[in-house]
Amino acid sequence: MKILLLISLNAAALNNVYEPVTVNVLNPCSGSLGVLENLNPSDFMIYPNPSNQALNVSYIGQNEKIDLRIFDALGNEIYKDKLNFNSQIHTINTETLSNGVYYMQLSNKFGDLRKSFTIVH
């Protein structure tokens, strides 16, 4: 009896400008890695950073449905929204956030992108 076991594995890595990217193992036996092509870190921008009242998020997508989540430094989810990016800017009010470092995550069916930002009032 032959058993076929398929394992899906995601890992974190840095691109050539030291931004985190999600990679997936294409062949678990060989350990080869492939960057998830549909989420490009250079297409994901957060500004101004640091922010005090509003944070602009842009993602150059082609009518992509993206889940946007914000986490505090302890990993608690503090904001969640579903967006339909088409080279548009999404603005988030940050007046109620405390000073500190936060992480924003964009997710679609191909993977996740995460960037940090700072709130200073």
* pTM assigned to the model: 0.65
DSSP string, 2-34: --------EEEEE-TTS-EEEEEEEETTTTEEE
Mean pLDDT for 39-45 is: 75
Q: Mapping DSSP to helix (H, G, I), strand (E, B) and coil, where does residue 41 land? A: helix
Do the domain assignments include residue 16? no
Domain at 80, CATH number: 2.60.40.3080
Q: What rounded mean pLDDT belongs to the chain? A: 75
Do the domain assignments include residue 81? yes
Do the domain assignments include residue 108? yes
Domain enclosing residue 97, as ranges: 38-119
Do the domain assignments include residue 19? no
Number of domains in the chain: 1
Do the domain assignments include residue 30? no
Q: What is the pLDDT of residues 58-109, one digit of tens each?
A: 877 666 788 999 999 999 999 999 987 666 788 999 999 999 999 999 888 8
